[in-house]
Structure 1
Amino acid sequence: MNRLRRRRLLGLSMAAMLAACAAPPPSATVQVFTLPAQLPPGTPYRHERLPSQAARPDQAMLEGVADAVLARAGLRRDEANPRLAIQVTVSQDAVAYGPAWGFPSVGVGIGGSSWGGGSVGIGLNFPIGGTAVYPSQRVDVLLRDVANGQVVFQSQASSNSGANAAILLEVALRDFQNVPPGMRLVPLAGPVGY
């Protein structure tokens, strides 16, 4: 391999590495709809499950993640005498990102050999395909007052980065009791996978 060719390959490799490093980190969109009244330390809560969640194998794990976050915020789990009820739901949707249709392209190639031969080639590309579809996962959190059923806190986190439900739940509850209402983009830390 001659020197000029090695430099070109090295330059292309460096450009590819820089492009990969420039990609933004995975993130989740978090939307908080209501602010909780400041709950006193030790406020008891219980988990509520929908009938569709009874057979979910990961429901207990998700409730454990919620327990850890709520404990850091000063709440405690008490199934027998709760003041609040928390409901965690997970859904996955297919999200379409623009059509995969495009304009045709033409490529021309010229080749030669050390034996004196040569060739020219022309290629035509018609991108046909439909729509690129990526899964999007969402976690919804509702915190209700057990006495009157009123929602005191609602948050949802969604991402199409491949983040698992536990990570999205932690992001949906991040800074609980001190999180402002509205929508924000939150970078995801840790392993992002199903």
Structure 2
Amino acid sequence: MFVRLVVLLLTAFALAGCAVQRTVDSQVQSWSTLARLPQPPTYRLDLLPSQHQSRAFDLIVPMAHAALQRAGLQRDDTAPRLIAEIGVRTGTGLADGPWYPYGPWGGGFGWSRHSGVRAGWMLRELPPTLYRNEVSVVLRDATTQKTVYETSASNEDVWTDAPRIFGVLFDAALTGFPMPPAGARQIRLPLAPAGAGAH
């Protein structure tokens, strides 16, 4: 009876998790010299040689294009008004202390010799691993080569969703374009389900 109850609880938790869409909290900071959307609002994406030769960028480039177009820009590789440059970076590290983010305790299930499955709590000896993902976008005037827009977005979480999280970060970085609020800000956006294509 107890085992059946545990199985039912685990099933309910799994179904609830599938029904809840994850969100991504991004730290964003932008700088702009633009007073309005450039006319025509066209751009060309220029990649560095290392980005051209990276297979990972084959997945990231469509996400950047989609975010730039959602921000109101139109791709024009022949006669663009703006030149766009992008960057991505990812890494891992430990949280700053054992209490991040939910305290030093974690729930778990284990086997008991006397009662079969048992549910309980265990003390975590080490802080969880954090996954940090960052993107940057720089826009330059195609005629003068002057930088007119610079923005970045970063996220730290105990879950890793690369590479699809980069699509959300590009959207966050371009929030408010072409006249974003001054200073650092936090942007929360939904994470597209796996298999939904480029965000």
* TM-score, scaled to structure 1: 0.62
The equivalent of 1:108 in structure 2 is none
* Structure 2 residue identity aligned to 1:142: V
SS in 1 for 2:65: helix
The equivalent of 2:130 in structure 1 is 134
Q: Is the 8 A contact 2:172 2:189 kept in 1?
A: no
Q: Number of matched residues?
A: 166
SS in 2 for 1:49: coil
Q: Give the Å deviation of 1:81.
A: 2.5
SS in 2 for 1:56: coil
Deviations 1:102-125 (A, max 9, x none): 79xxxxxxx8xxxxxxxxxxxxx9
How do 1:88-127 and structure 2 match up within 5 A?
88-99=86-97
Q: Is the 8 A contact 1:42 1:74 kept in 2?
A: no
Where structure 2 has 5 or more consecutive residues not aligned to the other structure, the ranges are 106-113, 115-121
The equivalent of 1:68 in structure 2 is 66
The equivalent of 1:189 in structure 2 is 191
Q: Is the 8 A contact 1:99 1:132 kept in 2?
A: no
Where structure 1 has 5 or more consecutive residues not aligned to the other structure, the ranges are 104-110, 112-124
Q: Give the Å deviation of 1:188.
A: 2.2
The equivalent of 1:27 in structure 2 is 24
Q: Once superposed, what is the RMSD of the aligned Cα atoms? A: 4.0
The equivalent of 1:39 in structure 2 is 37
Q: Is the 8 A contact 2:26 2:169 kept in 1?
A: no
* Structure 2 residue identity aligned to 1:191: P
In the aligned structure 2, how far is the partner of 1:85 from the partner of 1:143?
A: 6
Q: Give the Å deviation of 1:94.
A: 0.8
The equivalent of 1:156 in structure 2 is 153
**What fraction of aligned residue pairs are identical, expressed as a percent?**
26
Q: Give the Å deviation of 1:24.
A: 9.6
In the aligned structure 1, how far is the partner of 2:90 from the partner of 2:39?
A: 34
Q: 1:144 aligns with which of 140, 143, 146?
A: 140
* Structure 2 residue identity aligned to 1:176: F
Deviations 1:127-172 (A, max 9, x none): 65x5532322111111122314324232324243423222322332
Q: Give the Å deviation of 1:40.
A: 3.5
